């Protein structure tokens, strides 16, 4: 036991490196997205390089995000909002009408018959105004003509013109009095109803949103099904838009099906072996060509931690929005290592990091090509980066490589410069 501890103490530096190596492999594989890898690479506008490809199982063709967004917007534009009819306000107005009539009109002066006639017309005005309710201007949420009015637990489809506004009350009173030959009492009626009438129709946000979500749920996210054994694409055929749609759908289904309890351990083991091989090259490079760094655990840890940071940042971006994968400042890695160590080491570490990230990014060839090229530009760019002018020049050169590379690949895939995604530069 004592000899073992002595040996461990004497070789603690080497033991630390083994520990760091295993821990780094573990964290990198841990950061990787959970899922299998589709075994075919394909790009729009390029020939299918494999044998005739038949559907390995039944699957659905998934609509694109743009198509789903357009359908959701169409549903939203056609959606009719719901408004709530409050009967309590109507009952309150009816109750107040009985009291206010006594104050507004003197029954003894008018006589019983005339007073009852006026009272009957007043009730007609209230009934007319509150048949579908009164809506305040601030409650109207859209410019559509239709709405659903929820009255007595029943949704009635109406036009906005069927519902009165407060500004329309005066005209309704004038019209009703003219019909009954009571225009002499218009002033008293207007004063009476000015203090009496209240809006009783309000926008029902909860029900509107609930119904809108219900309409959203009816949207189909698929365009159809592909049966097992159907030819998807033949060898040598150019991959067109429709082929990309079908292949992407199959890829998504394939990778989700592959990641099952029976397969996940094999997938994890495969990732672990490949990552371990890449990191082994890094440590062997240190030992053979940079023995001074290999002996210094602090320097080795510094380099490995920087690799982990880049892998973590990239995998997080891939997880949340793969469109921004080039936003990750991967070229900072060779820039830092070039500054603290030497250019050759910076480029070697950068290439190994890019190889690792090639497992998780889409269009891995494009990614590896552009990132490797950008890394080389970083290494051969101006020295003395502590001078801000030189740093800006270096960043400009790297950005130019990305822009030129993006346009070049876009022309290869599309055959033109149409539909350039300018957000990719943002």
Q: Indicate whether 280 pLDDT > 80.
A: yes
Q: Cα angle vertex 52, ends 47, 56, to 5°? A: 120
The predicted pLDDT at position 107 comes to 61
Give the pLDDT band (50/70/90) at residue 10.
low
| Sign of the torsion formed by the C-alpha atoms of 173, 174, 175 and 178 | positive
CB contact at 8 A, 152 and 139: no
List pLDDT tens digits, range 351-379. 999 999 988 887 788 888 888 888 888 88
Q: Indicate whether 65 pLDDT > 60.
A: yes
The predicted pLDDT at position 411 comes to 73
Measured distance CA(272)–CA(103) in Å, rounded = 90
Q: Indicate whether 5 pLDDT > 60.
A: no
Measured distance CA(405)–CA(394) in Å, rounded = 17
Q: Indicate whether 259 pLDDT > 60.
A: no
Give the pLDDT band (50/70/90) at residue 140.
low
H or E stretch covering 61: strand 59-62
CB contact at 8 A, 189 and 129: no
Q: Indicate whether 202 pLDDT > 90.
A: no
Measured distance CA(242)–CA(249) in Å, rounded = 11
For the chain, which residues make up each domain, given as ranges?
Answer: 2-36+259-425, 82-203
The predicted pLDDT at position 283 comes to 92
List pLDDT tens digits, range 313-346. 998 888 887 778 888 888 888 888 888 888 899 9
Give the pLDDT band (50/70/90) at residue 106.
low
- Per DSSP (E only), the strands in 152-237 are 154-159, 164-165, 201-203, 222-226, 231-233
Q: Indicate whether 118 pLDDT > 80.
A: no
Instruction: Return all residues near 10 (Cβ < 8 A) that are at least 6 apart.
Output: none
Give the pLDDT band (50/70/90) at residue 308.
very high
Measured distance CA(394)–CA(218) in Å, rounded = 52
Buried (b) or exposed (e) across 370-390, using 16+ Cβ within 10 A? bbeebbbbbbebeeebeeeee
User: Alpha-carbon dihedral of residues 97, 99, 104, 110, nearest 10 degrees?
Assistant: 100
Average pLDDT, the chain: 80
Q: What does the pLDDT average to over 43-68?
A: 79
pTM over 0.85: no
Q: Please tell me the least confidently modeled range out of 141-150, 292-301, 327-336.
A: 141-150
Q: Indicate whether 143 pLDDT > 70.
A: no
The predicted pLDDT at position 336 comes to 87
Q: Which residue in the block uniquely carries the two structure tokens 């009492």? A: 185
Select the more confidently predicted residue: 391 or 13: 13
DSSP lists the bridge partners of residue 85 as 201
The predicted pLDDT at position 36 comes to 61
Measured distance CA(374)–CA(310) in Å, rounded = 15
Give the pLDDT band (50/70/90) at residue 22.
very high
């Amino acid at each position: 036991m004592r000899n073992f501890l002595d040996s461990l103490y004497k070789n603690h530096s080497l033991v630390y490196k083994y520990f760091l190596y295993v821990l780094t492999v573990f964290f990198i594989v841990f950061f990787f997205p959970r899922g299998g890898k589709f075994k075919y690479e394909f790009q729009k506008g390029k020939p299918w390089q494999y044998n005739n490809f038949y559907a390995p199982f039944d699957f659905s063709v998934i609509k694109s995000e743009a198509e789903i967004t357009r359908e959701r917007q169409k549903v939203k534009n056609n959606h009719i909002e719901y408004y709530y009819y409050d009967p309590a306000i109507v009952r309150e107005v009816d109750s107040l009408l009985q009291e206010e009539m006594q104050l507004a009109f003197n029954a003894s002066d008018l006589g019983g018959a005339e007073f009852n006639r006026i009272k009957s017309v007043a009730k007609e005005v209230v009934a007319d105004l509150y048949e579908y309710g009164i809506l305040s201007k601030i409650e109207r949420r859209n410019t559509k003509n239709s709405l659903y009015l929820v009255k007595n637990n029943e949704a009635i489809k109406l036009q906005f013109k069927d519902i009165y506004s407060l500004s329309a009350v005066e005209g309704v009173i004038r019209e009703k009095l003219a019909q009954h030959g009571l225009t002499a009492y218009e002033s008293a009626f207007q004063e009476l109803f000015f203090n009496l009438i209240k809006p009783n129709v309000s926008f029902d946000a909860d029900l509107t949103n609930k119904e809108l979500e219900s309409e959203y749920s009816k949207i189909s996210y698929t365009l159809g099904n592909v049966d097992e054994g159907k030819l998807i694409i033949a060898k040598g055929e150019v991959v067109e838009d429709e082929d990309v749609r079908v292949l992407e759908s199959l890829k998504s289904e394939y990778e989700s099906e592959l990641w099952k309890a029976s397969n996940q351990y094999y997938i994890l083991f495969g990732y672990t072996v490949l990552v371990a091989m890449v990191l082994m090259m890094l440590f062997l490079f240190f030992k053979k060509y940079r023995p001074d760094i290999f002996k210094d655990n602090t320097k080795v840890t510094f380099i490995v931690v920087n690799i982990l940071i880049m892998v973590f940042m990239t995998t997080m971006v891939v997880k949340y929005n793969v469109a921004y994968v080039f936003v990750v400042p991967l070229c900072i890695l060779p820039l830092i290592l070039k500054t603290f160590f030497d250019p050759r080491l910076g480029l070697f570490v950068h290439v190994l990091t890019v190889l690792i990230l090639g497992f998780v990014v889409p269009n891995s060839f494009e990614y590896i090509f552009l990132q490797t090229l950008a890394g080389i530009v970083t290494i051969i760019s101006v020295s003395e980066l502590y001078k801000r002018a030189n740093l800006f020049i270096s960043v400009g050169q790297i950005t130019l490589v990305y822009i030129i590379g993006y346009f070049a690949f876009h022309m290869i895939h599309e055959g033109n410069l149409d539909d350039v995604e300018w957000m990719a530069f943002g």
